[in-house]
Each structure stands twice: as structure tokens, then as C-alpha cells.
Structure 1
Amino acid sequence: MAGTVEQQQRMQLIKGERHLFSSSDDAIVMKQILATHAPDGREVEVRPILNLVEDILRRATPTAVMVPQAHELELVEDKAQKYEVTSMLEALAYPIHRISSEITYKCSGGGEAHATALALFQTLSTYTWDAKLVLTLAAFAVTYGGFWLSAQIYTVNPLAKSIAQLKQLPDILEQTDVLKPRFDAINNLIKAMLDVTKCIIEFKELPTEYIPLDSPDINLAMAHIPTAVYWIVRSVLACASQIIALIGLGHEYMSSTTEAWELSSLAHKVANIHGHHDKKISRFYQTLVRLFETIHLDNMKILKALIYSKDDLPLIEGTTKKRVRVDVLRRKIVLLFITDLDITPEELFVLIQIYNDTHQGKVERHYEIVWLPIINLHVSLLPSKETTFDQLSSVMPWYSLQHPALLDKAVVKYIRDVWHFDKKPILVVLDPQGKVVCPNALHMMWIWGSLAFPFTSAREEALWKEETWRLELLIDEIDPTIVEWAREGRHICLYGGEDIDWIRQFTTTMKHITQETRIPIEMVYVGKSNRKEKNKKIISIIAAEKLSSYWEEPAMIWFFWVRIESMWHSKRQHGHTVDTDQIMQEVTQMLSFDGSDEGWAVFSRGLMEIVKSSAKKLLDCLNEFDGWKGNIELVGFVRALENALAPYWTHEHCTRLILPGETGVIKEEVVCAECKKPMDQFVLYRCCNE
């Protein structure tokens, strides 16, 4: 009899939900909650705590109710160390423990749900709304994580096994079929709670110095926050009650589906709160779509929709660093430079050079660049990132956004979904009426610089029609000295790779050939893409042993390869293939050279004569120099080498083409195991016929 009474008391906390779901008078409830709110001015950095909470709940929440084997256990990354919040967590450890104990006590002893929530709000009275929310979630994560930690490792850890036996976890986990609806409901509710919490945190993180707090939209959002916090606290109590009630209540409780329904109803209410927020984003998103489909007299509607229009001065002018209105861009060609905060120094350096060369000494510019930085909406802009943003903005000679938060969530979604931004920088071109005339002009900017103005897709196609495969296309303005050599009709050899033994053999062989033929050949080492440190080591050896000339500046090597890669992307965007386009064929072969472990070389005389080869074939051919040197007087060195290489071509090959790209399969960020930074994603094309 006593057990039945105790069980009824424990169930009361969950069953008490029905009263509020049937009542329409939420105003009375919220009046009581608001009466407890008396913040003392303390600010809690909630984002790092939320990251920890989300990590715990993600790892604890089962996709299926089952016990993993020992080999399935994974190492947990130390989030506290990552975000440098150890000292803050020390200060909050006791409040979190106290709230966790209070939740456990209230949920174990029974009681009406609203009264329990009200008591919790009284305990949290001195904290801000976002802090109340995150501390409550942290307290729940301790209980929930502890429950599932024991469940996950009790078969492989003796201590966990003893604790699990006291809690009767083996009996609980044997009831997989019965428990599935309940845990599905808990999982759904946890997801809804986290979604709404992130929205509240994102709102709290908006920079108040840039966004007016007296605007109607801000006031409306602030009025909804206490209600959202209240229902998440109620949801936490319901989830905690489910977990605590599982311990020792037996099969009668497990077989009940009523509580699963209660959780589903609560999840529905919390999801509705999040849905309201999402609907606002969706409406704004559709507005953007319609705006870009409409013909306008100028670009103001488009730009003010993209850039936070309620801030009168949302942009920073590049030269004076003063805040200015969007109107300064009226009826101009605008290039939106869209990146994250991890721009490489080489990218920024080269783009600044192109921009300055175009605008040097000119009062009226042909176009304007505006930097739109995209940040991860689920990670706060930590002080280190704020510093990075300020540093980047300070060196940019063009316009930049005053703060990343001035990009609305719907705008970021549009940029990702429609313009396909994903980590790699893009340069979206808007004509004076705000129409997108090129979804990404960065490729033509790298290839032709300001010559590509007005940076339309039609201009890009026209430039390709004028191009031929020649040394000047490869080098352009990267090294004016080499271009001058070519115009003088000199023999030039560009070579690369990272096999220093092959480099020694190749350069030594070439010295013997130049001495014998008395034909001076300017040899320049141009490195390998994405191998900055390796390039430095090889260049130091080349310099010490005086093997050849080289590019010492990393930006030159980077730009050489990024231009070739841009040629490939540009040609591909216009439908050109290896079968139908010679430049596409040559560019693809250059990229395959870079993707291999071998060396390679390109020989040229003047602007038009050009031949290239991979390491082994080239060295084999050069070693047989005596057999074909007689042709040099007839056709010249480059043509003689080209003819001599022909017999070395075979069907046997193994070619690799490695390009930055998105496969569409792995969407989440992959972190380097060594430095913990996000890894770049590449697509590997491979053809082996050996």
C-alpha cells in the first residue's frame, strides 16, 4: 500500500502537466514567474556552458536503447579547456549542483509541476533569463548524463556495474521495446529544448551597440523570452521525472504510455515556440528570394535586405574606417566578398593587391567590394574571434560589415542555400540594379584581375574565347620577370614537386644539357600547392645547393596554383570539358601533376611554344638526349623535346586530381587530430591503368 502511495506521489509531478495544458490563462502563471525575477547584475558566459550541455546530451541520448561494447566508447573532448572557461565553471559548479539536487528531490518526492518550477525560479532569481535557462539545463545534464553513463559502461566497468545494480539499470535496459516510445519522446523534447535555447542565446549575443533595443521587433522578442524559459524549465522537470521514476518503479510504470504522451505534448508546445521563431526567419528568407527575382531601379532594396537595415551606419569604409550608410553603394556594381573568419593571408594579400591596382589614384571606382563575414550561429563570437574580425576589417581597403551579427539568420541561410557558400570564400557580383550577374567572380578575379570587369558570366566567357594555352596565361602578373623573359624569346622552365632527389637529378641533367647546347634556360621552382612548410624546406635546399631559381614568397606559390585551380572551376562552370577544350585539358594535367607524388616540368620559349611532362618520363627522355639533340637546330629545343617525349607516352598511367570541394556526403565539420582546427575538404579524382 505504501509503495502505491509513493508511486502515485512520484507520478504527480508529470501528470500535473494536464492542468496547464487545459488552461488558457498563461498570464497568471507568467505573472508569478516574473515576480521571482530579481537579477543582481552578474553576467554569466552561457555559450561555453551550453556547448558542454549539448555535448553531454548528445553523447548520452541513445539512438536506440542498447548497451555499447567497450570498443565503441569514445574519448570526450575537453570542452572546458577548449573554451577556456575552467575558472568560470569552478564558480558555477556549486549552483549547478544545488539546482541538480533540488530537481532530483522535487521530482522524487512528487508535487505539482508548476509549483516545482516556481520554486526553481525562486532559487535562480538573481540570474538573467539566459543564465537561468542554461544553469537549469546544466543541472539536468548532470542527472541525465550520469544515468546514461552508468548504462553505457556498466558491462565493462566494475564500479559502474555496482552502481547500475543499485539503480536496477540492467532490468530497465532489458525492456527495450517497452521503453522505446518513452525515450523517443524524451529525445524529441531535449531537441526542442536545445533549439529554443540556442535561439534565446543568439538573441542575447546580438551586439547592443549596433542594434537599437527600443525597436518593436526587439521588444517583442524580449517579451517572449520569459515564457520560453518557463516552458523549458517545465520540460527539464518532466524529463528528469521520467529518468528518476524509472529507478525502482518496476514493470507497471514501464508499461504505461501516458507519460510518453505527456512528454510529447510538452515537446509540441516547446517546438511551437521554436516554430514561431523559424516562421519569422522563413518569411524573411522568402522575401529575399522574391527581391532577387524582381527587377529594381537601383540596388538599395536588395542591399538593405542583406545588410541590417535598422542600423543607419552598418558599414565601415575601408580607407577612413568611419561608419557609413548603405546608400554609398547606390547604383554601383557591388562585389560581396563572403567568407568566414579563417581567411588565409595569401587570399587577402592577393585580393588587396588586385583591388589597389584597379583603384590606384582614381577618385571614381568602377566597382565596390563589401566584406560580409559569416560566423557559426551556434558558437558565440569569443574574444579571440572578435579580435580576428577587427584585425581583418582593419586591413581591408574596401567596405566591411560593422559586425557579423548584423547579418540576419535568414540572410545567412540564403547565402548558404542559394549562393552555396560553405567555408571557401565567394565573390557574388550585383549589378547597379541589385541583380546577381555572377554567383562567384573570385575565379575570374584570380585569373584576370580587374581585366574581368564588370565581372559578369558573359564577360568571363568572352575572355576565355580570347585565351590560348601559353606561359603568360600560367604566370600572368605573379612574376613580371618571367613574362618579360618570355616576351624576349628566352627559354624558360617551370618545375615543381616535393621529391628532392628527383629535383637534384633533374636540375643537374638540365645544367649538362644547357652547357652542351649553349642554350640558356631560366629554371624556376614553383613549389606544390597546400604544402607551405614542405616548400620552404625544398627551397632552402635549392638555394643552398644553387640548383635553380625559385619563388621564395609563399603568396606567389599559392597564387600560381589557385589560379590554375580557378581556371578549372571557371571552365567547368561554362560547360567546357577535357574532350572539347584544350585549355581545360592542359589545366587538368597541371592539377594532376600537383596531386601526384612525382615532380613535373613545363618548358617554354617565347609566349606560345610550350611543352610539359611528369618526372619519370621527362628524366628518361633527357637521359637519352644524345639520341634527339640533332633536332634542336631544325625545330628548336622546345619542339625537339616535345617530339622526343612522344614515344614515352603509354596507356599505363596513374593520375590523381585533388580539388577543394563538397562531396555532399560528409556535411559536418571534421577537426584535425593534431591542431584541433577544422580540416579543409577536398575531392579526389583518380584514374589508374597500370
Structure 2
Amino acid sequence: MLCPCMGENEIQTRTMVLFDLLKEYRWDAKAVLVLGALASTYGGLLLPIHLAFSDPVAASIATLNQLPIKRTNFGPWLNSLSLVVKAMVDITKCIVEFERLPFKQVKLDNKFVGETMSNIYLASYLVVKSALACLQQIPYFKKIQQAMESRRAAGELSSLGYQLRNIHTHLNKQVDECSTKIEEQIYRRLININTETHQDNQEVLQLLFSLQDDFQLQQYSRQIATTELKEKVILLLLSKPELLPIEPLLFMLQQLYDHPSITTTEQNYEILWIPIPSSQKWTDKEKENFNFYSNSLPWISVKRPWLMSSTVLNFLKTEWPYRDGEAMVVVMDSNGNVVNMNAMDMVLIWGVRAYPFSVAREDELWEEDGWSMQLLLQGILPAFETQVKEGSEICIIGSDDTNWVDEIKSLARKIQNQGFKFELIYLSKHTIASESAMEESSILFWLRLESIKRSKLKRSESDRVFEQVTKLLDFDYGTHKGWAIIGKGSATETGEIVRVDGEKMTERMRRILRWGEYATGLGFTEAIRIAAEKPCEESHTVVVPFEEGSKKRVVTCEKCKRPMKKFVAYQ
């Protein structure tokens, strides 16, 4: 490109040689490479001139290269060059935009597309040819003091600039028309996702991202093709780039990727993060947040999401129930059909057990699950799985009254010393302070309760689960000292879980202590339930024949269900 050309014919020949050299590149890449060569050459010439008045070294370089230092000597020529270069850049932007259009996703009129392609070829040719013409101006630039040659060179560049500007105006109109038609078709197809028949999820994923690049996704720094998601259930996570609030999303990751109960099911689904900015244009801070989280968290994310189609983003904001700042999880099955518009709550409640995360699966899970310790603690407490296997009983207390909490802890230790086996966990609204010091588990516990309530409200159900969760979420810590939930970790029946308000809990625990050894053998949940019953007004006797092991047997009153004192009689 830097070799001198003698006349128009030689520039034409050199242009064709360049096209042959760049034949393996796309049309936008051809134009960009040639512009880069032009910018590099003229940048090396103009930079020393620009710095000459403030940097002696730059002034010396300009003098050695026979470059004019006084801007007044080459002002008209430089203005003409700027006109040409700006027109070339604008044309190249049109070519780049055209090459990025997702023609594979739509069907446009072949005649219209053919005409636009012909103009793209012509525009690319003129950009390359104009770059060569500009480079032939370097000798005039170095002889800028020759006024006549300078004016002639400036005139040639001005004429070329106006020609390029006219071509850009026409090409820009055609590319905009192509883009508008494509965006309209894409929007219509997105609306009809569930009415069209798909062989797999590939067509829909290509439609959502609408990019020509085959590697549209990434996991950490590894590029991923959409074909790697074929035959998988896709959980489309829509959120702000800064992922706030982050706790539910980290809980979701724990439930779907890090939970010990996960076996091979994780191979059948993937989380795909689509960050949505607050405005149409991404800020530097949003890009920084996206790059940090996409390289830190194990889910798959869109590569360079700021290049996503504005039509797709508009569809996500208007047709799907995405609200700015509220993360949601849209589930797409392996056939590309949307089966759940927001599965966030069911993931936070059941984790991988919710697979395939459809609305129908949520209905099934609520048919299976009732008010139980599994519903409250599964996937939250690290030791819960072991406690379930061992059949341990659990007592969860919640309060902001430290005196009441200390009293409950003291009573619990005394009851445990009598032979009762249970795990005591203390929760407040914001923190947790138990013997295992699981602050994170407290946050997850309240997140799950909120998810349970939303799930029930969505189904318009007002059952025992909804009633108990609502009472916990709306608990008045000013009126009552706290609350307690007692039950076996393995309990699945609603009746096996007991909830008691603060003052009543302390009364029942003191009552159990007064029973002493006569209550030995009862479970803690059973003892708490029995302690609520009123004692019989009259004493009575029950004769129980001696049996092997009867010393450990607990005999309860048939009326009040309380443990009875033991006496041994010989006959």
C-alpha cells in the first residue's frame, strides 16, 4: 500500500491485488484492515507534528522526516483528508453493521438483499481504493510548502470525500432498512416461541442472541458454542449486571451446582446469564461488573452482552415479566419451549429436586410436600442430611430478645441432660447465633420462606404451609418474645411439626423438666405437644403388666397424655 502508484490505472491494479490478498476475510474485515493500515501510516506522520511545539524530540523527528510543523501551511489539505477518512470510517461502520445482521434467523426479499450486497461490495472496493489514493498524498504532504501542489492535492481529496459521502448516504439507508425488517421479524418470532415447533433449543437460542458469531457464550474465559446446550434444559437468568441483591443468586448456585445430593442431573440443565442494563447503552461500571461476575461464577453467560439486539432486550423487558432490578429465571426445555416464566422461587425451595423446573413440576412438588423440616431446612443447614438419617429432632427458635434466648438455651441444656436428644438452632430476623454459627444459613432460611410465600400466592393457595410461613415472616417481635418450631428432621407429615410462641415455649420446657425421669423415652416434639395439654383434675391409676424393658417404657395418661409416675407392685 505504501509503494507509489503512477496514475489511476496503477491504483486500480493495486486495489485488485489487495482484494486478492484479503480474499479469506469477510467484507467488513477487509475494510477495517485497510483503514488500520491507513491510520497507522498517517498517525506516524501527524503525531510528531501535533507534539512538535511541546516536545523537542517530536519537533526533531518532524524535521528529519521533512514534515511541515506550521499547521497553517497544510490546513486545507488536512481538512480534505479528514473529510475523506471520516467518510471511509462511516462506510466501514455500515459494512460492519450489515455483516453482523442475523440473516440466518429471518427470511428477507432476495432481490432487496441482493441489491444491498452489491452496494456493500462496491463500498468495500471504494474504501480500499480511497485508502490507496490517500497514501499517494504523502509526497504532497511533505512538500506542503509548494502552494500549487498543496491546493491540487486538497482538491483531489475533497472530490473523493464528497463521492464517498454520497455512497455512504445511500448505503446507510439500505442497511437501516435491512436491519428494521430483520428486527421486526425477530420480534414476531420471539412472541411466537411456544406456538412454533422446534426440533431442539438451538433455533430459539440463536434467535435470542441474534449474532453471527458461533461462539456467543462463555463460561469463565472459555468460549462456548450454543450447540453445547443442545438437549439441555436452559435456565435463563435475567438480572442487572451488578447482580443485586446477590444473596438469592448465590443460594441458587448452591442449590443447583454445589449441593451434595446432586448426582448426574446437573448434566441435563445449565444456567445461562443474560445481564440487562438499566438503559440502552452499557456504562463502563456495568461492563466491569459483568466481567467480574462472569469470570467468577460457574454459570454460562452471554459473551459481550452489550452487542445484543435492542429488539431482543425490548422483548425481554416488555413481553416477559422482567422488572428492572428483580432477577428472574425463565426456563426453556430441550425443545426450545418456555415452560416456566419464573422458576426462581422453586429453585430456592427445592433446588435440583425441582428439575425440569416447569410449572407442572412445581404443582407435583407441592402435592408431595407439606409443612415439614425438609421444606424449611433442606439444602440450608450443612448437617441437616446427617440429622435426617439419624432421625434427630430439631428445635428452631427465633427472637430479638437475648434474655429469652438465653433462657431457652439454658432450659434446653437441662432437658438434654435428662436424656432428650435434639439440635437447638437460634435464628433472628437478620442473623443466626447457634452453636454451629451459621450466619449464611440464616439469610438462606428467610429467603426460602419468602420464596414459599410467593409460590403459594402465585397458586392462590392458602393452606397450612402458607399460614405458618406468613406467621413467621410477619411475626411481631415487639408483642411476643420469640417463636419455636420443633420436629424431626425426617418428619414428612404436617402434624409432626409443632410451632409455639415464645412465652408458651418456656412454660412447656419447664413443665418437661418437672416431669423428670418419668418423661424419659419421650421424643422432644412429643413432649412439647403433651405439655400443652391440661392435667387431669383427679389422680387415677393404671396397672401395666411387667414386660422385659418396661423400666424404660413411658406410660401416658389416656386423658391428658402426660407421663405418669411409676410404682412397682408385687402380687
Give the TM-score band, short-chain normalised. Answer: 0.5 to 0.7
- Distance in 1 (CA, whole Å) between partners of 2:179 and 2:399 is 53
**Distance change (3 Å), C-alpha of 1:624 and 1:483:** same
- 2:406 matched to 1:504? yes
Q: Deviations over 1:244-288 (max 9, x none)?
A: xxxxxxxxxxxxxxxxxxxxxxxxxxxxxxxx9999866643331
1:574 alignment partner in structure 2:
459
Q: Which residue of 2 aligns with 1:607?
A: 490
Partner of 1:215: 99
Residues paired across the two proteins, number: 371
Match of 2:318 in 1: 417
Match of 2:287 among 372, 383, 386: 386
Q: How far did residue 620 of structure 1 move?
A: 4.9
Which of 581, 589, 600 is residue 471 of structure 2 equivalent to? 589
SS of 1:428's equivalent? strand
- CA 1:431 to 1:605, structure 2 compared with 1: closer, same or farther past 3 Å? closer
Cα-to-partner distance string for 1:83-136 (whole Å, 9 max, x where unaligned): xxxxxxxxxxxxxxxxxxxxxxxxxxxxxxxxxxxxxxx9xx99x99xxxxxxx
Instruction: Look up the SS of the partner of 2:475 in the other structure.
Output: helix
Out of 412, 426, 443, the residue aligned to residue 558 of structure 1 is 443
Pick one of 354, 359, 363 that aligns with 1:461: 363
Contact 1:600 1:613 in 2 (8 A): yes
Instruction: Label 1:635 to 1:457 Cα distance change in 2 as closer, same or farther (>3 A).
Output: same
Letter in 2 for 1:463: L
- Tell me the secondary structure at the aligned position of residue 372 of structure 1: strand
Identity rate of aligned residues, in percent? 28
Residue of structure 1 equivalent to 2:230: 330
Q: Is the 8 A contact 2:415 2:513 kept in 1?
A: no
Of the three residues 495, 505, 528, the one matched with 1:641 is 528
Task: Give the partner amino acid of 1:638.
Answer: T
- Alignment check: 8 A CA contact 1:308 1:406 kept: no
CA shift digits 1:385-419 (9 cap, x unpaired): 32211111012323210123133233223223333
Structure 2 counterpart of 1:558, one-letter code:
I
Q: Tell me, which stretches of 5 or more residues in structure 2 are unaligned?
A: 1-41, 44-78, 103-115, 117-177, 535-571
> Per the alignment, in what secondary structure is the counterpart of residue 394 of structure 2?
strand
Q: Mind listing any 5+ residue stretches in structure 1 that lack a counterpart?
A: 1-39, 42-121, 130-203, 221-275, 540-547, 648-690
CA, structure 1 residues 646+425, in 2 after alignment: closer, same or farther (shift >3 Å)? farther
- How far residue 378 of structure 1 moved from its aligned partner, in angstroms, is 5.1
Residue of structure 2 equivalent to 1:549:
435
The counterpart of 1:403, out of the listed 301, 304, 324, is 304
Query: Deviation at 1:632?
Result: 4.3
* Cα distance in 2 between the residues matched to 1:631 and 1:282: 78
**How many angstroms does 1:592 deviate by?**
2.8
Deviation at 1:434, TM superposition (A): 0.9
1:295 to 2:197 alignment? yes
**In 1, distance between residues paired with 2:310 and 2:533?**
57
Cα contact 2:331–2:343 (8 A) shared by 1: yes
**8 Å contact from structure 1 (residues 308, 407) kept in 2:** yes
Query: Secondary structure of the residue that 2:474 maps to in structure 1?
Result: helix
Q: Please state whether the residue corresponding to 2:370 is helix, strand or coil.
A: coil
Partner of 2:372: 470
Q: Going by fraction, where is helix more abundant, 1 or 2?
A: 1
Whether the aligned pair in 2 keeps the contact of 1:524 and 1:551 (CA below 8 Å) is no
Q: Secondary structure at the match of 1:461?
A: helix
Q: Quick check: 430-439 or 486-495, which moved more?
A: 486-495
Partner SS, residue 602 of structure 1: strand
Question: Distance between the aligned counterparts of 1:571 and 1:473, measured in 2?
Answer: 13
**In 2 relative to 1, CA 618–575 (structure 1 residues): closer, same or farther, beyond 3 Å?**
same
Secondary structure in 1 aligned to 2:267? coil
Contact 2:345 2:454 in 1 (8 A): yes
Q: 1:519 aligns with which of 392, 397, 420?
A: 420
Distance 1:596 1:473, change over 3 A: farther
- Give the secondary-structure state (helix, strand or coil) at the position aligned to 1:613: strand
| Superposition map of 1:295-374 within 5 A | 295-318=197-220, 321-343=221-243, 344-357=245-258, 365-374=267-276
> For residue 438 of structure 1, what is the amino acid of its counterpart?
N
Cα offset, 1:350, TM superposition = 3.3
Amino acid paired to 1:425: A
Per-residue CA deviations over 1:56-92 (Å, capped at 9, x if unaligned) read xxxxxxxxxxxxxxxxxxxxxxxxxxxxxxxxxxxxx
Letter paired with 2:224 = V
Secondary structure of the corresponding residue to residue 424 of structure 2: strand
- Partners of 1:475 and 1:483 within 8 A in 2: no
TM-score (norm 2): 0.55
Q: Is the 8 A contact 2:511 2:531 kept in 1?
A: no
Q: In the alignment, which residue of structure 2 is the partner of 1:285?
A: 187
1:618 paired to 2:494: no
Contact persistence 2:216–2:223 (CA under 8 A): yes
Task: Give SS of 1:375's match.
Answer: coil
Q: Shift of the alpha carbon at 1:421?
A: 1.6
Matches within 5 A, 1:21-32: none
Q: Does structure 2 retain, via aligned residues, the 8 Å contact 1:313–1:323?
A: yes
Q: CA deviation at 1:357?
A: 4.6
Residue type matched to 1:549 in 2? E
SS of alignment partner, residue 589 of structure 1: helix
Deviation at residue 430 of structure 1 after TM alignment: 0.9
Return the offset for 1:361. 8.5
Q: CA deviation at 1:316?
A: 0.8
Distance in structure 2 (CA, Å) of the matches to 1:505 and 1:327: 60
Q: Letter of the 1:551 partner, please give it.
A: A
What TM-score do the two structures reach when normalised by structure 1?
A: 0.47
**Is this contact kept in 2: 1:300–1:330, CA < 8 A?**
yes
Q: Deviations over 1:19-47 (max 9, x none)?
A: xxxxxxxxxxxxxxxxxxxxx99xxxxxx
Deviation at 1:614, TM superposition (A): 2.7
Q: Deviations over 1:631-686 (max 9, x none)?
A: 94696442342344478xxxxxxxxxxxxxxxxxxxxxxxxxxxxxxxxxxxxxxx
Supply the distance in 1 between the matched residues of 2:307 and 2:476 (Cα, whole angstroms): 40
Letter in 2 for 1:397: P
Shift of 1:491: 3.4
Structure 1 residue 366: deviation in Å?
1.0
In 2, Cα distance between the equivalents of 1:477 and 1:291? Answer: 34
In the superposition, relative to structure 1, how do residues 428 and 216 fare at CA in structure 2: closer, same or farther (>3 Å)? Answer: closer
SS of aligned partner of 2:192: helix
Q: Which residue of 1 aligns with 2:544?
A: none
Q: Which residue of 2 aligns with 1:67?
A: none
Shift of 1:627: 7.7
* Rg larger in structure: 2
Distance in 2 (alpha carbons) for counterparts of 1:586 and 1:390: 42
Aligned 8 A contact 1:308 1:314 in 2: no
Cα distance, 1:637–1:631 mapped onto 2, change above 3 Å: farther
CA change 1:592–1:482 in 2 (3 A) is same
Mapped partners of 1:526, 1:640: distance in 2: 22
- CA deviations on 1:539-597 (whole Å, 9 max, x unpaired) are 3xxxxxxxx5243342x2222222222222223333322xxx33233333332338878
